[in-house]
Amino acid sequence: MSKRQVIKEKPIIKGKQVTSRGEEDYIKAIYKLSDEAEGERVTNHQLAVYFAHTAQTVNEMVRKLEKKEMLVYQPYKGSVLTTLGMEEAVRLIRAHRIWETFLTDKLGYAWEEVHEEAEMLEHLTSTKLADKLYAFLGAPEVCPHGNYIPALSDLKRDDLDTCGRLKLSKAKKGKQYCLKSVVDDKALLVYLNSLNIYIDLCFKIIERDLVSDIVTLTYDGRNTPLSGAVAQKLFVCEVYDAEDNA
Amino acid sequence: MSKRQVIKEKPIIKGKQVTSRGEEDYIKAIYKLSDEAEGERVTNHQLAVYFAHTAQTVNEMVRKLEKKEMLVYQPYKGSVLTTLGMEEAVRLIRAHRIWETFLTDKLGYAWEEVHEEAEMLEHLTSTKLADKLYAFLGAPEVCPHGNYIPALSDLKRDDLDTCGRLKLSKAKKGKQYCLKSVVDDKALLVYLNSLNIYIDLCFKIIERDLVSDIVTLTYDGRNTPLSGAVAQKLFVCEVYDAEDNA
DNA sequence: TCAATTCTTAAGGTTAACCATAAAAAGTTG
DNA sequence: CAACTTTTTATGGTTAACCTTAAGAATTGA
């Protein structure tokens, strides 16, 4: 009733979020972890390790997301995303990969530089913006790391990272392969740069030492040994049109 | 010392911000308001109205920004940005206008749709990203609303919105003008759309009624009356190569 | 100049997203 | 199945960004 109320005149619009940044990060993490691990449920412990959060914090976040019906949580068992949660995760992953593609293809970023930027931008990307960007990019199939850019309706997680592809660590000696995707890990990407390894590079496996756990590839006329740890993060397709360059 | 500490293993990187979203909004607001009003100092009251925040909140934010040396505050007088604060404001305005240009020029957004998106994106735009985007856009001079895109070193506020331009409300009857910029106000932009008025449109003023406060323009072979309120939000340059289309 | 008005600020509250400590509950295993 | 480990959750704390109420200080104008 006082004149001071006049201050309330202009209610500037602000981003009204249904899910906050933190919540979105949890949804994405659950989506990813439920794929990496064999089981479907993601335990609170896994999330605690992933985010370096305490058990209590994880518990609170999971309970909050449960109330919002983004996931179903069973104490001592873990969480499974609901369809709503999956949709949210796919929306974020789609935006993430679209931004990564934009940053490399249009702005000339290196593939190891795009993750952090995309990680921020994805959270403010409306469906409209994502779709327009995607069209502008020419509807690319994959991001700079070779992972599929899912459509919003595309909730099948298996397709996203590895469908039709083989871990290099499971490839066979003597055969030829083409690199199709890599895990989005900065140190790995920088390392691959130093070896001149990139998406769509074709090579032959000339050695696979199970004791030392080293795979040796041939490309560019030279031999390159890769540790099992690295080989596990590279996904390849077999190539049949033989043509040696050793 | 307990085994539970193992949880602390993986400290995922997060955006470490020097200035938060809220602080950045205050810096931008002070920058803008110190230009719009005649005086240089921006009072807490102005900020309270602008954000629809309470006096207490404004006070807290201003004091916080003062501690960070982004501004100098004099109780009962108001705030002035320091060079540091100005740089921050220009960085944000630059990012804002670059995003607006990207959204319209590359993604086909309408000029009334870009403000909100840019308002969010600007806060996560590193100098590197802004510069790359800017180059990608072909180093445009102005945003879709005709406002100059400042360089980071460009702290002169006067140039940004009106340099060398005239408010349409001060234009003279009988002369020809070209629309150079408009205030970024959604309702206004939609209204201008309906009149087919856009940046770089040239027209002649055929009437200026001081009593009714209406300016009448001629373009596209028709006469269009504009209220003083609208005319105040349009900035024009005089055009000398005469050519009637009335 | 003094009363009215406006501005500032102290005190204390809220919510979100984190934290630690510690107890209670469930699972695991010898 | 008892002991041990892990997981959950209650309690209580922190900071940031907001809020209200209300007191106190400065400005203004008649």
Å separating the CA of residue A15 from the C1' of nucleotide C1:
51
3-class state of residue B142 by DSSP: strand
Please state, in angstroms and rounded to a whole number, the distance separating the CA atoms of residues A95 and B138: 25
Residue B195 gets which letter from DSSP?
T
Please state, in angstroms and rounded to a whole number, the distance separating the CA atoms of residues A143 and A117: 14
Please state, in angstroms and rounded to a whole number, the distance separating the CA atoms of residues B107 and B110: 9
Q: At what angle do helices A44-51 and A55-67 cross, to 10 degrees?
A: 120
The structure tokens listed for A235 are: 């996904």
Q: Which residue from A107, A117, A124 is facing B136, i.e. has the nearest CB?
A: A107
**pLDDT in the model for residue A34:** 87
Å separating the CA of residue B8 from the C1' of nucleotide C23:
23
**pLDDT in the model for residue B16:** 37
* Nucleotide minimizing C1' to CA distance for residue B26: D17
Please state, in angstroms and rounded to a whole number, the distance separating the CA atoms of residues A107 and B30: 32
Residue B145 makes CB contacts below 8 A (sequence gap 6+) with B100, B111, B181, B182, B183, B184, B189, B199
Cβ(B73)–Cβ(B63) below 8 Å = yes
Residue A49 makes CB contacts below 8 A (sequence gap 6+) with B7, B9, B10
Give pLDDT tens digits for B182-198. 999 999 999 999 999 99
Please state, in angstroms and rounded to a whole number, the distance separating the CA atoms of residues A50 and B6: 12
State mean pLDDT over B200-218.
92
B4 pLDDT exceeds 90? no
Distance (Å) from the alpha carbon of B7 to chain A's nearest alpha carbon: 5
* Below-50 pLDDT ranges, chain A: 1-16, 245-246
CATH superfamily of B166-239: Ferrous iron transport protein A (FeoA) (2.30.30.90)
B245 pLDDT exceeds 70? no
**pLDDT in the model for residue B18:** 76
Provide, rounded to the nearest whole percent, the portion of chain B with pLDDT above 70.
Answer: 86
Please state, in angstroms and rounded to a whole number, the distance separating the CA atoms of residues A4 and A7: 6
B246 pLDDT exceeds 70? no
**CATH class given for the domain over B84-162:** mainly alpha
Distance (Å) from the alpha carbon of B205 to chain A's nearest alpha carbon: 34
3-class state of residue B193 by DSSP: helix
Contacts of A7 in chain B (CB under 8 A): 45, 48-49, 52, 54-55
Residue B54 makes CB contacts below 8 A (sequence gap 6+) with A7, B48
**Where in the sequence of chain A do the CATH 1.10.10.10 domains occur?**
21-81, 84-162
Candidate from A93-97, B129-133, B141-145, B238-242 with smallest mean pLDDT: B238-242
**Does any strand C atom come closer than 7 Å to the Cβ of B45?**
yes
Question: Nearest residue of B to residue A107 by CA position?
Answer: B132
Strand D nucleotides below 7 A of a protein CB?
A: 6-12, 16-22, 26-27
Candidate from B8-17, B46-55, B122-131, B156-165 with smallest mean pLDDT: B8-17
Please state, in angstroms and rounded to a whole number, the distance separating the CA atoms of residues A230 and A71: 33
Per-residue pLDDT band at B157 (split at 50, 70, 90): low
Å separating the CA of residue A32 from the C1' of nucleotide C4:
64
- Decide which of B163 and A244 is more confident: B163
Q: What's the whole-number average pLDDT of chain B?
A: 86
Cβ(B237)–Cβ(B178) below 8 Å = yes
The DSSP-derived string for chain A is: --GGGGGGG--------SS-HHHHHHHHHHHHHHHHSSSS-B-HHHHHHHHT--HHHHHHHHHHHHHTTSEEEETTTEEEE-HHHHHHHHHHHHHHHHHHHHHHHTT---TTTHHHHHHHHGGG--HHHHHHHHHHTT--SB-TTS-B---TT---HHHHHHTT-EEGGG--TT-EEEEEEE---HHHHHHHHHTT--TT-EEEEEEEETTTTEEEEEETTEEEEEEHHHHTTEEEEEE-S-----
State mean pLDDT over B200-220.
91
Tokens 């969010």 belong to which residue? B120
Contacts of B51 in chain A (CB under 8 A): 12
Measured in degrees and rounded to the nearest 5, phi and psi for residue A151 equal -75, 165
Give pLDDT tens digits for A87-122. 999 999 999 999 999 999 999 999 999 999 999 999
Distance (Å) from the alpha carbon of A218 to chain B's nearest alpha carbon: 34
Most confidently predicted of B11-15, B129-133, B202-206, B235-239: B129-133
**pLDDT in the model for residue A239:** 87
**Where in the sequence of chain B do the CATH 2.30.30.90 domains occur?**
166-239
**pLDDT in the model for residue A96:** 97
Give pLDDT tens digits for B12-71. 333 335 788 899 999 999 998 887 666 589 999 999 999 999 999 999 999 999 999 999
- Number of neighbouring beta carbons within 10 Å of residue A174: 10
The dihedral over CA atoms of B195, B197, B203, B209, expressed in degrees to the nearest 10, equals: 50
State mean pLDDT over B195-218.
92
Selected from 1.10.10.10, 1.10.10.60, 3.40.50.12780, 1.10.10.350, the CATH number assigned to the domain covering B21-81 reads: 1.10.10.10
Find the helix or strand (DSSP H, E) in which B235 lies. Answer: strand B234-239
**pLDDT in the model for residue A24:** 95
> Cα angle at A98 between A150 and B123, to 5 degrees?
135
**Single-letter residue type at A238:** E
3-class state of residue B23 by DSSP: helix
| Residue of A3, A12, A33, A46 to mutate when probing chain B, most B C-beta within 10 A | A12
**pLDDT in the model for residue A121:** 96
Residue A218 makes CB contacts below 8 A (sequence gap 6+) with A203, A204, A205, A206, A224, A245, A246
B10 pLDDT exceeds 60? no
Strand C nucleotides below 7 A of a protein CB?
A: 6-12, 16-22, 26-27
Q: How far is CA A55 from the centre of its chain?
A: 24
Measured in degrees and rounded to the nearest 5, phi and psi for residue B54 equal -80, 165
Please state, in angstroms and rounded to a whole number, the distance separating the CA atoms of residues A117 and A195: 25
Please state, in angstroms and rounded to a whole number, the distance separating the CA atoms of residues A30 and A41: 8
**Single-letter residue type at A98:** I
The DSSP-derived string for B214-234 is: EEEEEETTEEEEEEHHHHTTE
Instruction: Look at the alpha carbons of B162, B167, B172, B175 in this order and tell me if their dihedral is positive or negative.
Output: positive
**Does any strand C atom come closer than 7 Å to the Cβ of B1?**
no
